[in-house]
Amino acid sequence: MKKLLMFAVAILTMAGTASASDKDGRVQIGAGLLYENGLELTVGYEKEMSHHNAWEFFGNVYLKWDKCADCGHVCPDSFWKNYRSWSVGAAYKPCVFRGRNNHGNLRLGGSVGSDTHEVIGGIHAGYEHSYVMRGKWQLYWQVKTEFVINGRDWFKTGVGIGVKF
């Protein structure tokens, strides 16, 4: 009986510590550069499902800079006041690659927001690759594309990097 009890305790202990960090929720912060002259910041919450598939709920701000008409360079007014937009949305991320302490996901989703003048919508597609670090925080990079409906910048594509904790 004592051996059976010790065996049960050992199995429960191993089962409790042998998780592959599936089904965790994480806050993520990322930044990226988009073609042409675009900069974005994304803050979101990722809910991981089984086998590293995930749902992401995010907020995104986008800034497009241009050269100043007066001086011909990028100055503070032409950087901060050229074209801005924000959006909130969701993306489903099915896992397409699994490795040791890393995995890759497609990123498919949609968003709605504003460019300070009118309502815009977005259709998102891309690839995200995450690396699990000590303490279960993650470093990720993304290749992303967004088709914007009713916006001045109707096609955005670029790369981003960020952390999840």
Tens-digit pLDDT profile for residues 121-144: 999 999 999 999 998 899 999 999
> β-strand 54-64 against 83-93: which pairing, if any?
antiparallel
What does the pLDDT read at residue 18?
Answer: 42
Query: What local confidence, expressed as pLDDT, does residue 149 receive?
Result: 93
Averaged pLDDT of the chain: 87
Which pair of tokens denotes residue 113? 């927001």
Tokens for 2, please give them: 């004592």
Helices (H) and strands (E) in the chain, counts: 2, 9
pTM beyond 0.85, yes or no: no
| Tokens, residue 63 | 């800034």
Is 143:127 a contact under the CB 8 Å cutoff? yes
* Cβ atoms < 10 Å from Cβ of 80: 10
* 7 vs 41, more confident: 41
Q: Is the pLDDT of residue 5 over 70?
A: no
Task: Return the residue matching tokens 């690396």.
Answer: 131
Query: How far apart are the C-alpha atoms of 147 and 155, rounded to whole Å?
Result: 5
Reported as a single tens digit per residue, the pLDDT across 34-71 is 998 999 999 999 999 999 999 999 999 999 998 888 88
